[in-house]
Structure formats: structure tokens, C-alpha cells
């Protein structure tokens, strides 16, 4: 620290970095939402004209809908997600067949305004490329049997069908953001930026965006080490998240009781147990192995050391260099 005992890299520095280098620019975010809404309107209009259509509703989902998306490079492109609820008698259906059907319907809806090559089927979604903006919208099928609260079975990238609710997930995020203020989502974006930079250095590191969101939600609900999550002090809040990961080793199960009771969660012996706020049977990191847990915990410890060093740095240059270990060479970003 300097002679006055103040941090060289404080909340204002990290906030400026977030606004200049991490957050999606306002106009770009507006354009993402416009194009997502345009897709929804076209498909929903088609549904009204074809009442026998098996696509019953669409919901904006993912980081764009939650306002936790981060800026991406031109090389990475831009992504947004739309959940397409498909009415089925039961969920025992061929996912491959559904994706082909969904791709054909999207092509049908857009007609001659787009080329067929703009619609790419992956193992769990139909990607639609918007050439005017570079935006790629992933339309993800949700198998819908008529349950309330937009509950349906999401088809995951590894072929599983997992009960979820886009609406309840958005409510889960909104409840905590309303309590905590705007710093809540910006803190999540900063942590996502840290993980993205970390994966550039170590491609084998596993830490999905949803995991970051749930760790922040857990610390907001419960605090850490007798202290509330400091969403208005980004250096301290990041230190709290890293300390939680390091000291618990991610061995303590995390359960949310917004939509079910803690006793409803399914028994598990997986290395990390963080339960979906909507579905007590879905461990969102259930496919992570012990090596993944150790790699993430060790990386958090190394990062925590950098943050601690920055807090006690005697020069501004040393403090900035320590934070560049987290966010890469663009930090602090003017």
C-alpha cells in the first residue's frame, strides 16, 4: 500500500476496467437484445399462424438475458441464447431428430432473407448467424410437457435432458440483483473475465459461467467468514470469492432453497456439489472430476496470492502487475 494505507487498485479502478474492457457496450447489448427479440417475434408470429406448430414458446436465456455477459473479441464473436420450448408427449425422444426439425423450422421462418448456411446444428442447439452484427444466436430446445413456471427439459451438450426453467433462473438472478444493486452483476462479469483469461493460459481449467453465478449467489446469501459479500468493493469481493474456493476446496455442497427444500437434493458422491436452484436433482458441475476440482482450487489459491500481494504493494506498478495476473495485459484499461 502507499503511505496513506490506500490500495493502488481499488473499487473505482476495477469498476472503470469493467466498464471499459469487460462489460458489453450499451449499444452492442441493445443490439443483441433487439436481434434476440426479433427472432422471438418472428418465430412466435409463425406459431400464431400455425396453431399445430410444436414450438409453443420462446424465452431469452443465458448470460445476455441475465445481463452477466462479458465483452468478447471479434475472433470469439458474440453469442446469445434462446430457449425454444417444444411440446412433446414425453421426453423420451431422439435429440438429433429434434435438432434437425428445429433447424428446418428456423429456416422456414426466415424464408429467403437468410442462407441455409447461416443455420448450423450442433450437438445441443441450432446456431443462427446474423451477418449484420456478427451475433450468433443459439436456439436451444427445451422439451415441454406443460408444466408451470416454464419448466421443461433442457437438452445439454453431452446429450442429457435436464429439468430447468428459464423463467425461474431469471427470477433467481433478479432477486439477488435487486437486493445487492448493480455491483452484483458487474462482480460476476469481472469474475467471468478472470476465468476467461485463466483458460487462455490453462485450457484444461474447467469453470463454467453458471458456476461463477452460483458461487456469487451463495456468498451473497450467506456471506463468508462472518462478513457479507462486499459487492460495492470489488477487490474485497473478489478476494472473498477466491478465499471461499481456496479454503473450502469446493468440497462443501451448495444448495439454494428458492424453489425447493434443502432435503430434496439427490444424494451424490461427486467431487463438487453445487445444485441447480430450480432442480434439486441437477448438480450443475456433476461431470467435473476430482482433477478438475483440484485444478480450479489451486488456480484460485494462486490468484488469491496475487490479489493479496496487490493489496499490500508499495508501488502502483507492482499492484497493477499483480492484477494483470488476473485480467491480462489490457488491465487497468483507460
> Is a pLDDT exceeding 70 seen at residue 210?
yes
**Which three-class secondary structure state does DSSP give residue 334?**
coil
Q: What are phi and psi of 121, to 5 degrees?
A: -90, 130
User: Considering the chain, what percentage of its residues have pLDDT values greater than 70?
Assistant: 94
Out of 3.40.50.2020, 3.10.20.600, 3.30.460.90, 3.40.50.740, the CATH code matching 24-166 is 3.30.460.90
pTM of the model: 0.90
- The residue ranking higher by pLDDT, 198 or 97, is 198
d(CA 251, CA 105): 44
Pick the range with the lowest mean pLDDT from 91-95, 169-173, 177-181, 192-196. Answer: 91-95
> Is a pLDDT exceeding 50 seen at residue 334?
no
Residues in the chain: 334
**What contacts 295, CB < 8 A, 6 or more positions away?**
202, 204, 205, 206
| C-alpha cell read off for 303 | 490468484
pLDDT at 73: 62
| C-alpha cell read off for 169 | 433462473
24-166 has the same fold as 11-20+170-327:
no
Give pLDDT tens digits for 125-167.
Answer: 888 888 766 778 888 889 998 889 999 998 777 777 899 999 9
> Is a pLDDT exceeding 50 seen at residue 3?
no
Q: Over the chain, what is the mean pLDDT?
A: 88
Neighbours of 225 (CB within 10 A): 8
pLDDT at 331: 93
Pick the range with the lowest mean pLDDT from 151-155, 215-219, 220-224. Answer: 151-155
**Residue pair 225/246 in contact by the 8 Å Cβ criterion:** no
pLDDT at 57: 82
pLDDT at 110: 77
Fold of the 11-20+170-327 domain? Poly(a)-polymerase, middle domain (1.10.1410)
208 — pLDDT class (breaks 50, 70, 90): very high
> Is a pLDDT exceeding 70 seen at residue 333?
no
d(CA 214, CA 90): 30
User: Considering the chain, what percentage of its residues have pLDDT values greater than 90?
Assistant: 56
Q: What distances in angstroms separate CA 149 from CA 19, 166, 259, one per listed residue?
A: 34, 9, 11
- The residue ranking higher by pLDDT, 123 or 53, is 123
- The residue ranking higher by pLDDT, 250 or 98, is 250
pLDDT at 134: 72
d(CA 207, CA 238): 16
> Is a pLDDT exceeding 70 seen at residue 198?
yes
pLDDT at 76: 55
318 — pLDDT class (breaks 50, 70, 90): very high
Domain coordinates of the chain in residue numbers?
11-20+170-327, 24-166
pLDDT at 78: 52
Give pLDDT tens digits for 62-115.
Answer: 888 898 989 876 545 457 888 888 888 878 877 778 888 888 888 887 777 778
Amino acid at each position: 500500500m502507499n503511505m496513506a494505507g490506500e490500495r493502488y487498485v481499488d473499487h473505482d479502478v476495477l469498476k472503470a476496467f469493467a466498464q471499459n474492457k469487460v462489460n458489453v457496450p450499451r449499444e452492442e447489448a441493445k443490439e443483441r437484445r433487439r436481434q434476440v427479440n426479433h427472432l422471438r417475434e418472428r418465430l412466435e408470429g409463425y406459431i400464431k399462424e400455425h396453431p399445430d406448430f410444436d414450438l409453443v414458446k420462446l424465452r431469452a436465456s443465458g448470460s445476455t438475458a441475465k445481463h452477466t455477459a462479458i465483452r468478447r473479441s471479434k475472433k470469439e464473436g458474440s453469442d446469445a441464447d434462446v430457449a425454444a420450448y417444444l411440446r412433446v408427449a414425453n421426453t423420451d425422444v431422439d435429440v438429433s431428430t429434434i435438432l434437425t426439425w428445429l433447424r428446418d423450422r428456423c429456416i422456414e421462418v426466415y424464408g429467403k432473407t437468410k442462407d441455409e448456411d447461416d443455420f448450423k446444428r450442433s450437438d445441443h442447439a441450432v446456431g443462427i448467424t446474423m451477418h449484420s452484427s456478427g451475433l450468433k444466436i443459439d436456439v436451444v430446445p427445451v422439451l415441454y410437457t406443460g408444466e408451470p413456471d416454464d419448466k421443461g427439459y433442457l437438452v445439454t451438450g453431452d446429450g442429457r435432458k435436464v429439468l430447468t426453467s428459464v423463467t425461474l433462473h431469471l427470477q433467481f438472478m433478479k432477486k439477488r440483483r435487486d437486493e445487492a444493486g448493480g455491483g452484483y452483476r458487474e462482480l460476476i462479469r469481472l469474475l467471468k473475465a478472470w476465468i476467461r483469461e485463466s483458460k487462455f493460459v490453462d485450457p484444461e481449467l474447467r469453470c463454467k459461467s453458471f458456476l461463477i453465478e452460483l458461487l456469487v449467489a451463495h456468498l451473497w446469501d450467506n456471506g463468508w467468514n462472518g462478513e457479507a459479500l462486499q459487492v460495492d468493493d470489488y477487490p474485497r469481493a473478489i478476494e472473498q470469492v477466491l478465499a471461499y474456493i481456496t479454503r473450502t476446496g469446493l468440497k462443501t455442497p451448495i444448495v439454494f432453497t428458492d424453489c425447493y427444500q434443502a432435503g430434496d437434493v439427490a444424494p451424490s458422491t461427486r467431487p463438487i456439489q453445487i445444485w441447480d436452484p430450480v432442480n434439486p436433482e441437477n448438480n450443475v458441475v456433476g461431470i467435473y472430476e476430482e482433477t478438475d476440482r483440484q485444478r480450479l482450487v489451486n488456480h484460485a489459491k494462486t490468484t488469491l496470492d496475487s490479489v493479496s500481494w496487490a493489496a499490500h504493494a508499495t508501488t502502483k506498478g507492482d499492484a497493477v502487475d499483480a492484477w494483470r495476473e488476473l485480467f491480462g495485459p489490457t488491465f487497468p484499461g483507460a
